[in-house]
Amino acid sequence: MPRPRGAAPVAYALTFTGLAGAYWPVVIAGLYGAGALIAPPTRPPAPEFPDASSRLETLREYPAEVDLPPGAAGRLVELTDLLDGLLAPGWVSEALATDPEGVHALARFVHQDIPESVDTFVRTRWWTRVAPGSEPPERHLKRQLDLLHREAEGPATGLCEAETRRRRTHTRYLEDRGL
């Protein structure tokens, strides 16, 4: 049996003490509904990362359980795609493995920053119903995801610049050999 939410216990108390009178069904339904509107909605649990190989996939699935605004959902897809490209097995992840700061930043994105951004959005979203006129949490989520995307582009840009320098160096090497 589901646990009564909000003002339902008050409605039951009014009914059993006889204060609701003949209108007891209306009192119970009204107070139960009011309590359900005021109480925060249930939210999905924070993601758990069972092993290293499923971390990014878990991160992709977690926000799918939450109703994100379209702009934020699109930015989150872009961010997870960028992280997926950086963490996919191959030369990029091998090159990134030599940069401890980059590895730390990516681990922080996956384990802390993105789940925290989505979780705080879910926790504060319902407050806009209770406190109209406050700054919408959608704006903060979009801004947070923009900042994280900009920061995640740093390691990608660094790898691109390193490969560009490597290509130019090899070209000069070949030119100096007279080929």
Instruction: Report pLDDT digits (tens) over 11-42.
Output: 667 677 777 677 777 777 777 777 776 766 66
Cβ atoms of residues 86 and 92 within 8 Å: yes
90: three-class secondary structure by DSSP: coil
Phi, psi of 41 (to 5 degrees): -70, 160
Structure tokens at 85: 């490209």
Q: What local confidence, expressed as pLDDT, does residue 173 receive?
A: 92
Q: Is the pLDDT of residue 135 over 90?
A: no
In angstroms, what is the C-alpha Rg of the chain? 26
Cβ atoms of residues 13 and 4 within 8 Å: no
Q: What pLDDT band is residue 1 in, cutting at 50, 70 and 90?
A: very low
Q: What local confidence, expressed as pLDDT, does residue 145 receive?
A: 93
What percent of the chain lies above the pLDDT cut of 90?
12
Q: What pLDDT band is residue 127 in, cutting at 50, 70 and 90?
A: confident
pTM over 0.85: no
